[in-house]
Amino acid sequence: MENLLLGNVIESGNISPFSCPFCGYNGSLDLMGADRFPVLRTLQVIGAGRRAARCPKCKSSDKERLVYIYLKEVEKIEKTKGLSMLHIAPESNLQIWLQSISDKYIAGDAFLQNQKFIGKVQFVDIRQTEFCNNQFDYIICNHVICDIKEDKTALMEILRILKTGGKAILQVPITKISKTVEYPNVYTKEEREVVYGYGYHERIYNDKEYVKLLTSVGFVVDVYNISARYNKNGLNPLEDLYICKKK
Ligand SMILES: [Zn+2]
């Protein structure tokens, strides 16, 4: 019975033992995410909903570990002079690591009040920033684009400030069984919770429509899934990576 509790990702039945790539914790994962909004189940939304995904020691989530594992193990980025990174809505464990390898790391958020950040975070509205064209090697927006009404404006801005050859990691919650869900007349947190399953989301993207959107802005998009290769690290087996390159 004990093994069934180790790293048990409820939404997919992954029962590999969990080992945290950030803090080294070995054991079972804590539950996280809302379970009271039926839309998350009805649309089988990936990257949202109730699941065993929180490290009890460092509090990292499956979404945070996915970006970390990708950058560290797949991209194999290391401490490099001049490496410039922009990290929007920074997750703590990721921020600590990125700060340690990048001497041009900037963490930004459009909502600085009532949030606890571990390091320095400056005001950044990703729809319109003061950064230069071609400034960043990497831009990380982990489940941020889904919160922005003017998503295309934000994506065009990300493309503008990304270096040619640079990469943006632009994760969002995804449904693969429905078209993109977006209601023009939904305004309040309570209304959003009912139709999107989260009070700050502006839509739920269909996977293929999301790639079309990213491509229409000018990104070259690679979609891949690394969760099976790193199945001990508590990744969501269903969450694909959307790696967006600027040619
Ligand atoms: Zn941990």
- Element (H or E) spanning 163, and its range? strand 162-171
131 pLDDT higher than 60: yes
Q: CA-CA distance, 152 to 82, in Å (whole number)? A: 29
| pLDDT for 55 | 98
Split at pLDDT 50, 70, 90, the class of 16 is low
Sort strands 122-123 and 102-109 into parallel, antiparallel or unpaired.
parallel
Distance 151 CA to ligand 1 centre (A): 31
CA of 45 to the centre of ligand 1 (A): 24
CA of 29 to the centre of ligand 1 (A): 9
Q: pLDDT at position 236, please?
A: 96
Cα–Cα distance between 47 and 98 in angstroms, integer?
A: 22
pLDDT at residue 35, rounded to an integer: 82
Contact 91, 61 (CB under 8 A): yes
The predicted pLDDT at position 15 comes to: 56
4 Rama class: left (phi>0) / alpha (psi -120 to 50) / beta: alpha
> What confidence tens digit (pLDDT) does each residue in 89-129 have?
999 999 999 999 999 999 999 999 888 899 999 999 999 99
Neighbours of 202 (CB within 10 A): 17
Taking Cα atoms as reference points, which of 103, 81, 5, 53 lies closest to residue 227? Answer: 53
pLDDT in tens, 150-165: 999 999 999 999 999 9
Q: How far is the CA of 61 from the centre of ligand 1 (A)?
A: 9
CA of 58 to the centre of ligand 1 (A): 4
Cα 161 to averaged position of ligand 1 atoms, centre (Å): 32
Q: Return the pLDDT at 7.
A: 37
Query: Is the pLDDT reported for residue 10 higher than 50?
Result: no
* Beta strands 51-54 and 122-123, pairing class: unpaired
Give the model's pLDDT for residue 3: 32
Give yes or no for residue 145 having a pLDDT over 80. Answer: yes
Q: Where are the alpha helices (DSSP H) in 162-237?
A: 189-196, 207-217
The mean of the pLDDT values for the chain is 93
Question: How far away, in angstroms, is 59 Cα from ligand 1 center?
Answer: 6
Ligand 1 midpoint to CA 65 (Å): 9
Q: How confident is the model over 171-211, as pLDDT tens digits?
A: 999 999 999 999 989 999 999 999 999 999 999 999 999 99
Above 90 in pLDDT, residue 218? Answer: yes
- Does pLDDT of 13 surpass 70? no
How many whole angstroms from 93 Cα to the centroid of ligand 1?
A: 9
Instruction: Tell me how far the alpha carbon of residue 143 lies from the centroid of ligand 1, in angstroms.
Output: 20
Second CATH level (architecture) for the domain 61-245: 3-Layer(aba) Sandwich (3.40)
Residues β-bridged to residue 171: 142
User: What confidence category does residue 34 fall into, taking pLDDT thresholds of 50, 70 and 90?
Assistant: confident
Boundaries of every domain in the chain: 61-245
Around Cβ 122, how many Cβ atoms within 10 Å? 9
Mean pLDDT of 35-47: 93
Kindly state the tokens that stand for 198.
């989260």
Q: Which residues of 228-245 are buried (b: 16+ CB within 10 A; e: fewer)?
A: eebbebbbbbbbbbbbbe
Q: Residue 241 C-alpha to ligand 1 middle, in angstroms?
A: 21
Distance (Å, whole) CA 105 – CA 132: 15
Q: Distance from the CA of 243 to the center of ligand 1, in angstroms?
A: 24
Instruction: Compute, in angstroms, the gap from residue 231 CA to the centroid of ligand 1.
Output: 15
Contact present, 181 and 43 (Cβ < 8 Å): yes
